Structure 1
Amino acid sequence: MKAKLGAGALVVLFLGGLWLVAAPFAVGYQPRGAEYADATVNDLWVGGGLIGLTFVALVVYAADALRELARRGKHAES
């Protein structure tokens, strides 16, 4: 149960990072064709960092889950 909660939290953080990257353009506080505002640059860096960090954490979580399944499969054959 705790593992599912943790994976769910990582997915929510990943989606939050995607929103931070998209927000300046979706909400419209970054005018089209204009030089990026400081807030836009901040959103892009923070959102991109959050996306990268949570993606790596999700990959590690998935690899650990697959390793656990393989371990259980070996024990079931014995």
Structure 2
Amino acid sequence: MWFEILPSFAIITVLMAMPHASAYVINKLVVGNMYRRSLLNKEQKDQYLRDWRISGDAYVTHGLEAIPDE
């Protein structure tokens, strides 16, 4: 019957989801947080460096109040 495919479908779905789910754990162990920023093009790199320069941590979001008035 049609429900005989459900066990194999569940196994394949779990195996395909494991790399995506394990990326959070690996990033937590290696980088120290669960998220990773994409630095593929120059604009994204500039935004990463800007966030690092303003707040000291590229993963913490601050508003305009974090930018010093000079």
* Shorter-chain TM band: 0.3 to 0.5
Larger radius of gyration: 2
Structure scoring higher RCO (CA < 8 A, sep ≥ 6) equals 1
TM-score (norm 2): 0.36
| Larger helix fraction of residues | 1
TM-score (norm 1): 0.33
